[in-house]
Structure 1
Amino acid sequence: MRKIKKIHKSEYRPIADLVTYSPMPTRSLQMIDPFLFLNHHGFQTYPEHNQGLPFGPHPHRGMETVTFILEGDIMHKDSSGHESVIGPGGVQYMTAGKGLIHAEVSSSEFKKKGGDLEILQLWLNLPAAKKMMDPNYIGLQKDEIPTFELSEGKIQVQQLFGEWNGVKGAFEGTFPITMSTIYLEEGSQFTKEIPEDENIFFYLVRGEVKINQEEIQFRHLVEFENEGSTLSVEALEKSILILGHAKPFNEPVVAQGPFVMNSQQEIYEAYEDYQQGKFGSWNG
Structure 2
Amino acid sequence: MDLRKIKKVHGSEYRPIADLITYSPMPTRSLDMIDPFLFLNHHGFQKYPQNNHGLPFGPHPHRGMETVTFILEGDIMHKDSSGHESVIEAGGVQYMTAGKGLIHAEVSSSEFKKNGGDLEILQLWLNLPASKKMLSPKYVGLQKEEIPSFDLNEGNVTVQQLFGEWNGVKGAFEGNFPISMSTIYLKNGGSFEKDIPENENIFFYIVRGKIKVNGEEVPFRHLVEFANQGEVLKVEASEDSVVILGHALPFNEPVVAQGPFVMNTEDEIREAYRDYQRGLFGTWDG
- TM-score, normalising length from structure 1? 1.00
Unaligned segments of structure 2, at least 5 residues: none
Aligned counterparts of 1:279 and 1:188: Cα–Cα separation in 2? 46
Q: CA deviation at 1:100?
A: 0.1
Separation in 2, partners of 1:197, 1:211:
19
Percent identity, please. 79
Mapped partners of 2:16, 2:283: distance in 1: 30
C-alpha distance in structure 2 between counterparts of 1:188 and 1:55, whole Å? 36
Matched, 1:4 2:10: no
Partner of 2:250: 248
Amino acid aligned to 1:271: Y
2:133 is aligned with 1:131 = yes
How far off is 1:102 after superposition? 0.0
Q: CA deviation at 1:200?
A: 0.1
Unaligned runs of 5+ in 1: none
SS of the equivalent of 2:106 reads: strand
**The residue matched to 1:271 in structure 2 has which SS?**
helix
Deviation of the 1:159 alpha carbon: 0.1
Q: Distance in 1 between matches of 2:176 and 2:72?
A: 24
CA RMSD of aligned residues (A): 0.2
CA deviation map 1:155-209 (0-9, x unaligned): 1100000000000000000000000000000011000000001000000000000
Partner of 2:230: 228
Aligned pairs for 1:184-203 within 5 A: 184-203=186-205
For 1:178 and 1:188, locate their aligned partners in 2 and report how far apart those are by CA, in whole Å. 21
Deviation at 1:95, TM superposition (A): 0.1
Q: What's the TM-score once normalised by structure 2's chain length? A: 0.99
| SS state at 1:281 partner | coil
Aligned residue among 88, 91, 106 for 2:90: 88
Q: Extract structure 1 runs of 4+ deviating beyond 3 A.
A: none
Match of 1:60 in 2: 62
Residue equivalent to 2:171: 169
Counterpart residue identity of residue 127, structure 1: P
Q: Per the alignment, in what secondary structure is the counterpart of residue 23 of structure 1?
A: strand
Return the offset for 1:123. Answer: 0.0
Which deviations, in whole Å up to 9, do the C-alpha atoms of 1:238-283 show, x marking residues without a partner?
Answer: 0000000000000000000000000000000000000000000001
Shift of 1:145: 0.1
1:278 equivalent in structure 2: 280
Whole-Å separation in 1 of the counterparts to 2:90 and 2:52 = 18
1:58: how far off?
A: 0.1
Q: Number of aligned pairs? A: 284
For residue 185 of structure 2, the aligned residue among 163, 183, 186 is: 183
Q: In structure 2, what is the equivalent of residue 41 of structure 1?
A: 43
* 3-state SS in 1 of match to 2:83: coil
Shift of 1:94: 0.0
